Amino acid sequence: MAEELEEKSQESQSENVPWQPLPQDDAYFPYTSQPQNEAAEVEESMDTKEKHEEIRSKFNEFMKAISEETSQLTDFVLEEKKLIKELCSLLTQILKNLKISFNIHPDCISKLRGARQIKFNKEGYLTITRNDDNVDSKLLEDYPPDTILAVMMVIIPELEKAIKTYRKNISQRVNLLEKIKHELKNLQKAVSPDEKEPSEMLQDEEIRNPVIASEG
């Protein structure tokens, strides 16, 4: 009798408890979240491909730009070498004819730090004596372009001064020669008044022997 009452009591309690769904555990539902994970992986893969494609595109642009710059750089380097050779050759010829050499103050060329003495002679050699007594002497065109340009910037103004001095010297000689010529002519007339000057003798000869053009 007691057992029947206990069973009925348990049944009544179970009837009063509301129904609740069982928790969705991965052990029971192993494939529930798989479609969402696959979509996320596909989206991530697409983003990665787009990023790789963008990086590849930028890389190709950089390579193209480098190729163009390299081509222009090659042209400029060749042109620079050609101009340096021509300029140094012209400068050397001028200095030889004018017989000019230069003593350059080291402070004038910042590129040649540590130099105690700098000379550029008429043969086109740049000689650098350093503070440690080491000496570099070679043709100007054999130095780096920056050094060559720095030397040119110092030499050209000094060359202008040297040319002006050279011109004045020649002008003075010409004036002196003109005076000597004038005095010699006066002296020639004084010592031989009956003799004609060479120019007058030539004119008389042309008068006596005119050139007659032959008719064909």
* Global pTM value: 0.57
β-bridge partners, 115: 130
Give the per-residue pLDDT at 177: 96
pLDDT below 50 — which residues of the chain? 2, 25-29, 31-33, 212-216
Token pair of 214, please? 């032959």
**Three-state secondary structure call for residue 210:** coil
What angle is formed at CA 18 by the lines to CA 16 and CA 22, rounded to 5 degrees?
140
Token pair of 194, please? 């009956």
Residue written as tokens 């050699």? 125
Query: Are the C-beta atoms of 105 and 89 separated by less than 8 Å?
Result: no
- Chain segment 131-165, per-residue pLDDT in tens: 888 999 999 999 999 999 999 999 999 999 989 99
Q: Break the chain into its structural domains and give their ranges.
A: 77-190
Cβ neighbour number for residue 183 with a 10 Å cutoff: 10
Q: Is 124 left (phi over 0), alpha (psi -120 to 50) or beta?
A: left
Give the per-residue pLDDT at 214: 43
Minimal CA–CA distance to 129: which of 143, 116, 139, 113? 116
How far, in Å, are 14, 88, 124, 136, 159 from residue 142 at the CA level? 107, 10, 10, 11, 21
Give the per-residue pLDDT at 212: 46
